[in-house]
Amino acid sequence: MKIFAQTLIAALLLSTVTLASTATRVPTVPTKPTTTNSFKAAVFPSSTPGKLNVFVGREPGKPITVRLKDEKGELLAEQPVSKNKGSFRFQFDLSALEDGTYKVEIVSGNDVTIQPVTLSTKPVESATRTISLN
Is residue 108 within 8 A of residue 63, CB to CB? The reply is yes
* Whether the predicted pLDDT of 43 surpasses 60: yes
pLDDT in tens, 90-113: 899 988 889 899 999 999 888 888
> For residues 129 and 124, what is the distance between their CA atoms, to the nearest angstrom?
16
Is residue 9 assigned to a domain? no
Buried b (16+ CB within 10 A) or exposed e, 103-117: bbbbbbeebebebeb
The alpha carbon of 19 is separated from its chain's Cα centroid by a whole number of angstroms, namely: 23
CATH code for the domain in which residue 84 is found: 2.60.40.3080
Residue 40 CA: distances (Å) to CA of 2, 43, 65, 82, 98:
68, 10, 13, 16, 29
Task: Tell if the pTM clears 0.75, that is, is over it.
Answer: no
End-to-end CA distance of the chain: 17
Within a domain: 10 = no
The pLDDT of residue 21: 40
Q: Is residue 12 part of a domain?
A: no
- The whole-number pLDDT of residue 123 equals 77
Provide the mean pLDDT of the chain.
Answer: 77
If one counts every other C-beta atom within 10 angstroms of the C-beta of residue 10, the result is 10
Is residue 34 one of the residues assigned to a domain? no
CA distance 67 to 79: 6
Q: Which domain holds residue 59?
A: 39-119
Mean of pLDDT values over 79-93: 88
Domain count, the chain: 1
Residue 28 belongs to some domain of the structure: no
- Structural domain contains residue 21: no
Domain assignment present for residue 33? The answer is no
Is residue 1 in a domain? no
Model pLDDT, residue 85: 84
